[in-house]
A = this chain, B = another copy of it.
Amino acid sequence: MFITVLVRGRDRPGLLKDIASVITSSGGNILFGLSYSEEGRASSLFIVEYRDECKNVVEALRCVDGVEEVTLEASNKAYALYVEFLERYPAMTSELVRFLTPNDFLEVLIRLPQEKRSSLYILVPPDYLGQLLVHAPQEIIDEAARVAVPKRLAEAIAFLPPDDAADVLQSLPPQVRRTVFEYLPKEFREAVKPLLQYPPESAGGIMTTSVVVLRKDITVREAVEVLKKSRAEIRDVIYVVDEHNRLLGYIPVPDLFKEDRNASLESVVRRDFIAVDPMVDREEVAKIMIRHDLSRVPVVDSDGRFLGVVSLDDVVDALVAEYSEDILLLGGIAKLPRFRYLTARLSTLFYRRFMWLIVIYLIESVTASVIKSYEGLIARTAVLAAFIPLLLDTGGNIGSQSATLITRALALGEVTRRDILAVVAKEFSVALLLGGALSSVAFVLALLVTSLDLEVALTVALSLVIVVLVADLMGALLPLAATSFGIDPAVMSNPLITTVVDVIGVMFYFTVASLML
């Protein structure tokens, strides 16, 4: 287990030696240390390997003369500590990356100021840079493409499996992409090229071609020989094709132990596979894999020819990305590929949020006009205004709740368009229950606020039942309608539903009020 230790204090001769000896005697093996002193204050950063738990090291360090502050964190969480040190000593990067996975280093990177970050892309080893780019948000890729020369980028990308390489290439600005592509080794270029023709979010875009594919007439013995030498990404399963490269099936490698060495692959191949088309959306692939409990799914073209394999880990990335997109949409923020909050530009954040808000303003101006048309009524019974927020908020919340339930069920494949009647029946019943319960509460509440104005309280309670019913059904039906038109149901985000419900809510409220009062 790696631990990062930061010690700060008053500088004095021998301080570093004392700290190091405390760490060593606590059972730690110092892998890396960096210290500096500034205006009489010393700061030291250590990466320490502990076999067991590191007990009492913090207490022991605090007892060292001069030490004032000790921070200890698992190295993969010590982002803030690394950021501080890298700002001063960028050259430390090449040391630091030995102890951090590319994903962890990325967390450090995105927390550095942009000008400090630029110099780091040339300090990390090329294979590491490749891994960084696979997981990096768009802004970091753009930055690296500006700072690093194409040849270096090509070097980094050539370390990646073909599917990841294709992914990174597709995220590069077009001019850079072309130059980088030319610098890639010829063989690698040919492995990547077929992947570039599919959209990045399709099965073809996320599949890997780095698998063991063998002809059906090969023997088990020969297959084992090929496997021994293979450097393919997927080596625990082999795929068997016929003379036209059409997929016959697969053989799990552990099974090869059991088979007769002289048997042909055709005689031992398992044919019970499910394959997908390269153009199928990655989210759909994920659903198929989860539904059928698959950890790999081969990709074949319309003639059944083998193209590649999608693994569960590619799909997990896809699921995380979809999850994040759905959450953003439901919260009223337009979709963004490779979005990361900390590196996202201000202008991007502004536009993605403003786009939604301005649509909502157009609807709200209708709401305002409706209320304005009841100006006379409000002037007479001003207390009516007091219940506008309660009424509209209830409508908005009820609508959000049912929209969330249905959007989620649609996303998980629990509900399809065909279940519309079951959904309506269920939501209508729940809405009746909620409407009844909430309007009783609202009635009492309105009586209290208005000092027992029975007519206003009745108006509020009655309008509420109607608003709850309408809002609930709209919230449930809008996402269902969206899927029918091939639109992502998450686009019917909660803010949008809330606003539409507002217009309807005030209309009912003031109509009921003008009838009652």
Q: Which residues from chain A sit less than 8 Å from chain B, CB to CB?
A: 53, 76-77, 79-80, 101, 103-104, 107, 111, 224, 227-228, 235-236, 252-254, 257-258, 289-293, 295, 302, 311-313, 315-317, 319-320, 323-324, 326-328, 330-333, 340-342, 346, 349-350, 353-354, 356-358, 360-361, 364-365, 367-369, 371-372, 375-376, 378-380, 382-390, 392-394, 396-398, 400-401, 403-409, 411-416, 418-419, 422-423, 426, 429-430, 433-434, 437-438, 441-442, 445-446, 448-450, 494-495, 498-499, 502, 506
Contact = CB atoms under 8 A, between A and B. Distances in A.
Nearest to A333: B401
B312 A404 contact: no
In order of increasing CB-CB distance, the 3 nearest A-B pairs are A331-B404, A378-B382, A371-B386
A360 B295 contact: no
A516 to B, nearest CB: 17
A97 to B, nearest CB: 15
27 contacts: A77-B416, A79-B416, A101-B292, A111-B419, A235-B254, A295-B311, A316-B319, A326-B327, A327-B404, A328-B408, A332-B401, A340-B414, A341-B409, A342-B419, A349-B405, A353-B430, A356-B397, A357-B438, A361-B438, A371-B385, A372-B449, A378-B378, A382-B385, A393-B498, A397-B498, A400-B495, A498-B498
B330 A403 contact: no
Nearest to A510: B385
Nearest to A254: B235
A236 B253 contact: yes
Given A290-B317, A295-B295, A385-B385, 17 more contacts: A77-B416, A290-B320, A331-B494, A341-B409, A342-B419, A349-B430, A354-B434, A354-B437, A354-B438, A356-B397, A356-B401, A365-B390, A371-B385, A372-B450, A389-B506, A393-B499, A396-B396
Contact of A252 (B224, B236, B379, B396): B236
Majority SS of interface residues in chain A? helix
A386 B401 contact: no
Nearest to A224: B257
A434 B357 contact: yes
Given A333-B405, A385-B378, A312 B316 contact: yes
Given A291-B76, A441-B358, A389 B392 contact: yes
B408 A324 contact: yes
Contact of A392 (B319, B392, B407, B408): B392
A76 B257 CA distance: 35
Given A346-B430, A389-B388, A331 B382 contact: no
Contacts of A317: 290
A109 to B, nearest CB: 12
Contact of A404 (B330, B340, B382, B385): B330
A319 B320 CA distance: 8
Nearest to A496: B397
Nearest to A81: B418
Given A327-B407, A341-B409, A390-B368, A313 B332 contact: no
Interface centre among A79, A254, A401, A408 (most CB of B within 10 A): A254
B406 A389 contact: no
Nearest to A134: B293
Contacts of A342: 409, 414-415, 419, 422
Contacts of A320: 290, 319, 412
A432 B315 CA distance: 39
B385 A364 contact: no
A214 to B, nearest CB: 14
